Amino acid sequence: MVEEKAPSNPAEWVAAIRGHRKEADLKGALEACTKGLQAFPDSTDILFIYGEVRIDCFNQAKNSEHLKAALVCFEKLLKINPRHYMANLLAARIYYKGRAWIRAEEKLAAILKMSPSDPRALELKAALQKMKNAAKGGPAPEAKEAAAHAPDSEEFGEEAIAKESIEGLQGGSEGEYENLISRFSIFARLDGVRGIHLIDHAGVEIKSVLKKDSRGLSNLATNVSNIYSAARLCMRKSGLGTLQRGTLLTPGGNVIIVNVFYGLLALELDTDADLKVVEMRISRYVEALAE
Amino acid sequence: MSQLKSILEKFNHNEGVEGSLICGHDGIVVESVLGGRFDAHEMAALVSSVHLAVGNCVEDFQYGRANRFQMSSQNGSLVISELGRGLFVAVLSGGVDAAAINAEIFQAANEIKKHANLG
């Protein structure tokens, strides 16, 4: 009998947890999260996916303990990385539904500080304001109805979070990610590439391949996801259509972010990398995916 | 006509350039020469938000300061160049060879720095 090898890094744990989620094996996913966090207690990726799994559990069992556990995860994650977009957003939604408005506002303020025009944060902020006004000024019928369904302040009622309110969690499936990862070889032996990263739209790292001399970058997945969100909105609102690519040039290195259907491909490059050659490889990569 | 406006107009004469603007890091428009389909104030605010995300990223990566960030789609590109205390934004049409226009962007940004108190 071949013994299955235990994951050896956070990305492998995240992949394993995703596998359980895909098969709707929430018990297995929770166990994998616990083991992953025992091995890597400060991994923001594992903390985030653990929060997501807890939300899945809540949606299935309607037990508010799962939401409390999700909040603990997101809060711990946000202590490590206060700029994690999805952790701030999901925590804000849970607080909002639990009528912990001040805390919800804090989380939204963190998002709006990074991205003042973020539509999801603005939408929730407007809803929050409406609820607060209704609470102050007495019985607006819709607020009254909402309050009747809402749990007591600071408590999380079992119906507090509807499944549809947790949007933006669904990325690609394992198979789709596999397809994206299997084509990484297109960038093999390309001069000036320090690292290749696949990240989902929520800012969770799916796969990273680093060159031996690469030092790794702090909060790469979150930063790439934040830039992508802001840039996508900028292009769309400017009437320039769907963002396909972002190229960042700095004295310390260059980063190219490519929107690849189910996720984001981020290429970490030397400052002297030939961008034209890299662009050609990216085009080949995208074409190969479309085949 | 202000010197900044004339720099933008000269830059806009390059093939594939649809417009350009200068704004502060706070998203306030300093000068703009954009076609009618673009709203300078909205674009400056959006660009400022992108710049903030890019700034956070570069700080975390310890990469120094972002020189340039280019966003591309099938319909066109937006290039944000750092001016020190402001941003120079070039709007390019789809299919334009961005590499060919890079030198022009660099030159225009340098001229703006010389003439405005943004550097």
**Mean pLDDT score, A121-150:** 63
Ordered by start, the domain boundaries in chain A are 10-169, 174-289
CATH number of the domain that B28 lies in?
3.30.450.30
Alpha-carbon separation of residue A7 from A18, A92, A209, A241 (angstroms): 13, 31, 16, 40
The total of structural domains in chain B comes to 1
Q: Phi and psi dihedrals of A89, rounded to 5?
A: -65, -45
- For residue A150, the model assigns a pLDDT of 37
Instruction: Report whether pLDDT(A163) > 80.
Output: no
**Separation of first and last alpha carbons in chain B:** 21
Do residues B52 and B60 touch, judged by C-beta distance below 8 A? no
A208/A199 Cα distance (integer angstroms)? 9
Show the domain range for B19.
3-115
Q: Given the structure tokens 């703006």, which residue do they identify?
A: B112
Q: Given the structure tokens 């899945």, which residue do they identify?
A: A56
Alpha-carbon separation of residue A131 from A88, A109, A215, B98, B100 (angstroms): 20, 17, 47, 48, 53
Which residues make Cβ contacts (< 8 Å) with residue B35, sequence separation at least 6? B18, B19, B91
Which segment of A168-182, A230-244, B48-62, B69-83 scores lowest on mean pLDDT? A168-182
Q: Chain-wide mean pLDDT for chain B?
A: 90
Q: Which residues of B touch A247 (CB under 8 A)?
A: 68-70, 72
Q: Which of B63, B72, B77 sits opposite A253 (nearest CB)?
A: B63
Q: Given the structure tokens 């998203």, which residue do they identify?
A: B27
Q: Which residues of B touch A245 (CB under 8 A)?
A: 70-72
Do residues A225 and A264 touch, judged by C-beta distance below 8 A? yes
Q: Does A238 touch chain B (CB under 8 A)?
A: yes
Report the topology of domain A174-289. Answer: Beta-Lactamase (3.30.450)
pLDDT band at residue B22 under the 50/70/90 scheme: very high
Task: Supply the pTM of this predicted model.
Answer: 0.68
pLDDT band at residue A165 under the 50/70/90 scheme: very low
A81/A229 Cα distance (integer angstroms)? 17
Instruction: Report whether pLDDT(A149) > 70.
Output: no
pLDDT band at residue A101 under the 50/70/90 scheme: confident
A264/A203 Cα distance (integer angstroms)? 9
Neighbours of A148 (CB within 10 A): 7
Residues 86-105 on B with a CB inside 8 Å of A are 91, 99
State in words which class domain A10-169 has. Answer: mainly alpha
Tell me the nearest-neighbour CA distance from A193 into chain B, angstroms. Answer: 16
pLDDT band at residue A1 under the 50/70/90 scheme: very low
Q: Which residues of A touch B46 (CB under 8 A)?
A: 117, 230, 233-234, 237-238
How many residues are recorded in chain A?
291
B53 with A217: Cβ contact below 8 A: no
Q: Which residues of B touch A227 (CB under 8 A)?
A: 50, 53-54, 57, 69
Q: Chain-wide mean pLDDT for chain A?
A: 80
